Structure 1
Amino acid sequence: MLDKSFRARDLVRGGEPVLISERSATRTLKQWDRFAGRVVQVEQRTQISGAVLPYEYETSENLIEGLRSIGNLSRKEKKELAKTLGEDFDAALIANLSETERLRAASSTFTTCWLIDAIDRAEQPETPDLRNTDGDEVLQCTISYPLADGTADGDVRAALDSCADLRPATATRWNWVRREKRAAASAARARPSKSLTIETTRDDGTLVLGGVKLDGRTLVLSVNSLERSERGIELLSTILGERVGQPLVVTETVEQILASRDTDAPRPVDLSEEEQRAIVHDYLDRHYRDTLDQPVPSLGNKSPRAAVKTKSGRAKVADWLKMMENRTAKSDGAMASYSFDWMWTELGIAELRR
């Protein structure tokens, strides 16, 4: 995208991208954004005539699929479609037109679909579906164990140090880690295609399932899902036995965490923009390198490396990468400048990045 122009592709009819001369949109559009607009030829220049309607990826896919399938609808389905979009929409007539004529006749539906989606999003703001690497819905769980009478701190530390699933971080803190590699079926379980994955790893790449700390006479386990809390309680109960009392479990949803966040709280560490960017980009590098070998729901639960072995799979992986690039570019802060160049190259599909 340039200051005065950008390249765009017709997603309904296909073809090569065309250079569009435009000024205002170049300041707002991000790479792989999807929009509806009227494109016209003015002398030697291709321009946008009228407003540009930005589309969310899922909404645009539904609209494109609907336009392509009009000719295959039953009479009842055509009537239902006409009823939904308005009396002026004649689905039966449109089904018999050429693709270009069909687009011209159905032009009002672009505005209708965009408006319906915009209203729905305004009335019901979408909360990201956050999942951990096991596919569990994120729920912050804090489990507090009182030390039993007569139990010495040293006995608890020794018991925790002896557990292979717990890695000491300090004298009073431990990381609960997964020693074995997670199975593909487990990694993909219950993880919707629209979900965002929360992952924490140690410097050596070991996956962290939770944290354990000894706070005075209380042992605290912190995990990010109800399922992990149950497994963690079982683990600690087995290790410590009668050294601790009955646990107290407190849960907090993502919405509750966001609502209780103190926006005026001082930053614990004052980092420069360059340092923040380096930390975020390093994390994303490690996260996406792991993702390349993990099942992705939108790729038919195949890993990106496995999917690119077929022609159809390569096209799906390209669409998947474009969607991730687009969402990242729209994010705030250091994440927005992250480059996916290396993923296109490593997967061998750089020629599809157009």
Structure 2
Amino acid sequence: MTMLGNHSLSGLMKWLTHEEWREPFADVLDLHLGPACEDYEMDFEEIAEVIGDHAAMTLWGCAFEDFLTQSIEPDGRNIIEDYLKRRGWKESAGNRRYMEALRNSCMSLYEVSEIVPGQSFLARDLLRGGEPIRVREHSATKSLQLWDKIAARIVAVSGKNVLAGGLLPFRPSAATLLMEELTAARKEARREFRKLTKEVQPPPRSTREDGQIADLLFMATAAPIFSNIWLDDALACALDQSLPTILNSDGDEVVFCRVRFPLRSGGAAAEIRERLRAVPAFQEENDGFWNWIERQPAKRKSSGQPASRSVPQQGPSVRVTLDTGDTVLGNIELTDKALVLEANSRERAERGTAILADLAGTLVGPSLTEIETLEQVMTRRDGSTHQDQASDLPAELQAELVHGALTDHYRKTLDEPIPALGDLSPRAAARTAAGRRKVADWLKHIENQTKSGRQSDDPMASYDFTWLWRDLGLEKLRR
């Protein structure tokens, strides 16, 4: 495990193989990995196969760095103190200072900003508060995105803040869960500390001082919580690669169906067009396209619309509507050669097929149905991503078009209700102190998600959100 510059812990790792340290380290490693191994019924090697060797070694590094801070009973010995006493003469002065800094370090959750690739970034401690600090770092800055949440140890060495080796990137949902778990655990630690101090009758201190001491003791022992939540989230993501079941407004699973009726003669299209116009449920957009709709409030007729039923509450749902509020059940396209129905479920496709077969009669031949699942559609689109990007449009024009569309979208969004802001618009929420904090968090989230996982030449990755912060008067909170 090599750190920034010439900092290396290779000597300490060899020292770890000594008999007196092997069992204590195994105990600490179990605190970091044991809960997941038990919950998923896997050993560490199996977990490494699921999350990848790099992630597995990072987790091992988190446990190792945690062990470096421990005082091992019964005599309270510490491996760094023992190693430097016996082998410190073999280490450079910089390495010794780095090890001593790690000895007194603790894990925390940081928010990343002001990234200078290959050089540094700002880190705001989300648990202990305070102003962001500048961290000197080379490799991690090339993959970090603005407003990422990372769990890490940041230590001061020779007047510079540097990252230790165990860095865990947290997804937004996992970061929220971590904050909740740590808050609850810290409150419990404070209660236990107050109870203990009353029993031993210490010198009088203020409640605030007691809380600060309890927090320091808690943070020194909290590292396994970071590993447990990160690993549980990583395993859940890796083991469940399937998409959730998406339902339409009828409660049917969303699949994409295309039903094609071949026309039997060249003149059939004109007759079918007139018949389609006679069906109230088919709303004509032009000579060759109709929306198959269900009006709101629904009035069921003999037009083949579905009977009323409740939507099962077992997955996310999607409902396509027109500006009038009418639900779109499908689309119908008519060409000189075919009558085509597209619907987003098998059930709707079957109902629509029956309606069109009855309507067209002998003017059409037997229908042919094509069905694609959501996974197949996404796989097909992923496969064509590079072709789509290899557009004839110059890169500058692509960026201009994408950036313009994003600006138009977010300009409208500033005046629309946002669930994360208590159904207030960003402008309305920014009028209060509490609202401004929520809006800042919301802005950080959309900025991070827009840029996350994209190549540097992707127009989405290069979009500048500064104007949004400025427009809302929140520039001081953008750090």
- Measured in 2, the distance between the counterparts of 1:286 and 1:159 equals 41
Higher relative contact order (CA 8 A, sep 6+): 1
The structure-2 alpha-carbon separation of the partners of 1:101 and 1:265, relative to structure 1 and needing over 3 Å to count, comes to closer
Which of the two has higher C-alpha Rg?
2
The structure-2 alpha-carbon separation of the partners of 1:151 and 1:131, relative to structure 1 and needing over 3 Å to count, comes to same
1:67 aligns with 2:182: yes
Secondary structure at 1:36's aligned position in 2? strand
Secondary structure at 1:102's aligned position in 2? helix
Cα displacement string for residues 139-174 of structure 1 (whole angstroms, at most 9, x for unaligned residues): 434355676999742355567789995444xx6456
What are the equivalent positions in structure 2 for 1:93-242 lying under 5 Å apart?
A: 98-125=214-241, 127=243, 139-144=255-260, 152-157=268-273, 166-168=284-286, 172-173=288-289, 212-222=332-342, 225-226=344-345, 242=359
Deviation at 1:264, TM superposition (A): 7.3
Could you say which residue in structure 1 is the equivalent of 2:439?
A: 317
Deviation at 1:35, TM superposition (A): 0.7
1:2 aligns with 2:116: yes
Deviation at 1:34, TM superposition (A): 0.9
Worse overlay, 40-49 or 315-324: 40-49
Deviation at 1:115, TM superposition (A): 2.5
Cα displacement string for residues 297-338 of structure 1 (whole angstroms, at most 9, x for unaligned residues): 333344434433433232222212211211221233332222
Cα RMSD between the aligned structures? 5.0
- Measured in 2, the distance between the counterparts of 1:5 and 1:219 equals 60
Q: TM-score normalized by structure 2?
A: 0.51
- Measured in 2, the distance between the counterparts of 1:153 and 1:36 equals 64
Worse overlay, 292-301 or 319-328: 292-301
In structure 1, stretches of 5+ residues that fail to align are: 75-94, 181-188, 202-207
The structure-2 alpha-carbon separation of the partners of 1:113 and 1:271, relative to structure 1 and needing over 3 Å to count, comes to same
- Aligned letter for 2:393? L
In structure 2, stretches of 5+ residues that fail to align are: 1-114, 190-210, 297-310, 323-327
The structure-2 alpha-carbon separation of the partners of 1:10 and 1:303, relative to structure 1 and needing over 3 Å to count, comes to same
- Aligned letter for 1:270? D
Contact in 2 for aligned 1:167/1:176 (Cα 8 Å): no
- Measured in 1, the distance between the counterparts of 2:122 and 2:402 equals 29
Deviation at 1:241, TM superposition (A): 8.9
Could you say which residue in structure 2 is the equivalent of 1:86?
A: none
Quick one: percent identity of the two aligned structures? 36
- Measured in 2, the distance between the counterparts of 1:137 and 1:303 equals 33
- Aligned letter for 2:452? K
Deviation at 1:106, TM superposition (A): 0.9
- Measured in 2, the distance between the counterparts of 1:308 and 1:228 equals 46
- Measured in 1, the distance between the counterparts of 2:290 and 2:340 equals 10
Contact in 2 for aligned 1:176/1:211 (Cα 8 Å): yes
Contact in 1 for aligned 2:155/2:162 (Cα 8 Å): yes
Q: TM-score normalized by structure 1?
A: 0.66
Secondary structure at 1:335's aligned position in 2? coil
Deviation at 1:11, TM superposition (A): 0.5
- Measured in 2, the distance between the counterparts of 1:105 and 1:126 equals 36
- Measured in 1, the distance between the counterparts of 2:400 and 2:292 equals 26
Query: Between Structure 1 and Structure 2, how many residues are aligned?
Result: 315
- Measured in 1, the distance between the counterparts of 2:133 and 2:321 equals 42
Deviation at 1:40, TM superposition (A): 1.6
Deviation at 1:12, TM superposition (A): 0.8
Deviation at 1:46, TM superposition (A): 1.9
Deviation at 1:6, TM superposition (A): 0.9
- Measured in 1, the distance between the counterparts of 2:463 and 2:253 equals 26
- Aligned letter for 1:102? F
Contact in 1 for aligned 2:266/2:336 (Cα 8 Å): no
The structure-2 alpha-carbon separation of the partners of 1:126 and 1:65, relative to structure 1 and needing over 3 Å to count, comes to farther
Could you say which residue in structure 2 is the equivalent of 1:77?
A: none
- 1:23 aligns with one of 138, 146, 158: 138
- Aligned letter for 2:420? S
What are the equivalent positions in structure 2 for 1:35-54 lying under 5 Å apart?
A: 35-54=150-169
Secondary structure at 2:393's aligned position in 1? coil
- Aligned letter for 1:25? A
- Measured in 1, the distance between the counterparts of 2:436 and 2:149 equals 21
- Aligned letter for 2:395? E
The structure-2 alpha-carbon separation of the partners of 1:165 and 1:22, relative to structure 1 and needing over 3 Å to count, comes to same
- Measured in 1, the distance between the counterparts of 2:246 and 2:462 equals 22
